[in-house]
Each structure stands twice: as structure tokens, then as C-alpha cells.
Structure 1
Amino acid sequence: MAVFNRDFIGRRFGPVGPYEVSREKIRDYALATGDPHPLYLDRAAAEAAGYPDVIAPPSFPVMLFFRFGGWPLYDPEFGKKHQPICVHRAQSVRTLRPIHPGDLLLMTTEVTDIREVGPHDQFDMTHTIVDTDANDVAVVTNSIISRHITALAEAV
């Protein structure tokens, strides 16, 4: 039971942003994820390690997905309605350079695949993150899976 519009494979959205990185955003993210490494929280420790300021944890770029990653879910042509409920299935982050306070980041999203996984649909996205000088910063990939609750209930 296909839900998502497969014509979206290869479509891109963005760039969107900018997302302004600050010490407080880095600190909040590090503490919320349970990673109190001094490089994320202490400017003096980061400087002693050769950085100009604190650095963001390697998974920090996912923040842009949560800020700007609603596309394609909210595009009516994509096919997402109230049902199915979608859940985050998998994610990976490839950090290409440290992220520092003061960075202004932009994100472009591409739908890279849509496929059936059992009774569900899964779509994969790649989010390319650059700074305002177009320097590569990170690449985040996400897999989102639908939960065809009504189809599952009918099968029982």
C-alpha cells in the first residue's frame, strides 16, 4: 500500500536557513544528549586543543533537520496525511569540519529513496549542510518509516 509519491525521489528543497550557531545552542545540545565533553562546554579547553572556540558535538547538525526538515512531509503532493504516523527509523551524520559559535548554516534536502518495507513505506533523505560561504560542513541522512496502522489493523 504505497503512501508516498515516488515522483519525489531526486527532488531537492532549499537551501533553507540560516541557522545561527551559538555557544548556548552547542551547550544545550551537548547537555541534552548527555555529552558534557569539555570541548563542547569550555572555551578555554577548546582553545587549548587548538580550536578558536567551543566546538559542536559531531551529531549537532541534526538540529537543522528538526528546524528545517519538515519538507517533504508537509507538501500535500508528497502524500503524507494524518495517517500514516511516521517515525524516525535511522540517521547518520558525517561531519566535514568542526562547527563553531557564529557559524551560519544552510541546509538543502533531497529525497533519495522511497520504498515499501513490509506493510510500511520508508523514505530516505540526505541533508547537505554548508556555511554561508558555501563551504561543506556536514551531511545528514535520515530514514523515516510510515506506520500503516489501519492496514495492520485490517490484516489482524
Structure 2
Amino acid sequence: MPVNPELVGHAFPPTDPYLVGREKVREFARAVFASDPQHVDPAAARALGYRDVVAPPTFAMVVQDLTLQQLLAVPDSGIALERTVHAEQRFRYTRPIVAGDELTAQLSVTAVRTLGGNALVTSEAEITDAAGDHVVTSTSVLLVGAGE
């Protein structure tokens, strides 16, 4: 089944709040080889003006993944995980993610286009904090291979 073009414009409900934990930030920093002290040492982060450790920029994917799970669960989407590759990722930050943040994300599908029988699905997750203030917009492009 090809990717359903009617996904464009679909906005999913906001995710449940995700509480950013200090150890999650440290684990993620180690996993992506982010060695700046602000990612693992609260004192180093405070010296830079943050209340706790600062997540590496790609940490937003942890929160965006919750929204992408919503997209993958749409029964008539035509997006089959076994034929899907994460093709591109972009972030537009208002401020860094810091341990202690409670983040909510809402996904919108912004484009579906075909490319050589495959489909490129672009989506944007608007990630906000507990006060409703914008933290980051995370844009993903999924390449969905043609079905059999």
C-alpha cells in the first residue's frame, strides 16, 4: 500500500508530558559522544546559567519519538516500519532542553511526496515546556520504500 497522501495536514494529539531526567541526559550524552561538561555535570551547567544538566541538541528525538509512534500507529497510513528509513532530521531551538523540563510534543504531517516509487514523509513535532512555551521544533523526514 502506498503512503496515504491524506496524512498531509494531520495533527496528532499532544503526547503525555515527558519529564527529562538528569540520568537520561547523561546516558544520551555518553551514547552520542557529547563530552562537554554541561551535559553530565550539574555544577558545570549552573556555571553556564542553567538549572541542571543540558541535553545535547539531538536529545529532542527522545521526545519526538513519542509523536512518531503515533504516526506509525495510523492503520491506513501506508507507512510500514520494515520499509522505513529515517532520512533527515532538523532542529529549531528556542532554548536548550535541561534536566527537570516537562515536555509535551505535538506532531503534524507537513508533506508526503513520491520519489522513484518511494515516499518521503515530512513531519514536524512542536515541543513545548510545562508553561506551554516553545522549546524546539523537530522536523523528520521518513523514507518509506515501495511495497510489494
TM over 0.5: yes
Q: Which moved more, 1:32-41 or 1:93-102?
A: 93-102
Gaps of at least 5 residues in structure 2 are: none
**Cα 1:103–1:59 shift into 2, 3 Å:** same
SS in 2 for 1:15: coil
Identical-residue share of aligned pairs (%): 32
Residue type at the aligned position of 2:141: S
Matches of 1:46 and 1:126 in 2, distance apart?
A: 29
Q: Could you list the per-position Cα deviations for residues 28-72 of structure 1 after superposition, in whole angstroms to 9, with x for gaps in the alignment? A: 111001112101011111112222221111121111122342122
Shift of 1:149: 6.0
Give the greater-gyration-radius structure (CA): 1
Matches of 1:139 and 1:70 in 2, distance apart?
A: 17
Q: Could you list the per-position Cα deviations for residues 78-123 of structure 1 after superposition, in whole angstroms to 9, with x for gaps in the alignment? A: 12347x6111000011121122211110000000000101121111
For 2:136, the equivalent position in structure 1 comes to 138
For 1:100, the equivalent position in structure 2 comes to 98
Matches of 2:57 and 2:147 in 1, distance apart?
A: 35
SS in 1 for 2:57: coil
Matches of 1:58 and 1:74 in 2, distance apart?
A: 26
Gaps of at least 5 residues in structure 1 are: 151-156
Matches of 1:8 and 1:106 in 2, distance apart?
A: 21
2:121 to 120, 123, 128: 123
For 2:16, the equivalent position in structure 1 comes to 17
SS in 1 for 2:50: coil
* The structure with more strand, counted as a fraction of residues: 1
Give the TM-score normalised by the residue count of structure 1.
0.88
For 1:40, the equivalent position in structure 2 comes to 39
* Aligned structure 1 segments of 4 or more residues deviating by more than 6 angstroms: none
Residue type at the aligned position of 1:110: S
Aligned length: 148
Matches of 1:72 and 1:149 in 2, distance apart?
A: 18
For 2:29, the equivalent position in structure 1 comes to 30
For 2:53, the equivalent position in structure 1 comes to 54
Give the TM-score normalised by the residue count of structure 2.
0.92
Matches of 1:56 and 1:67 in 2, distance apart?
A: 17
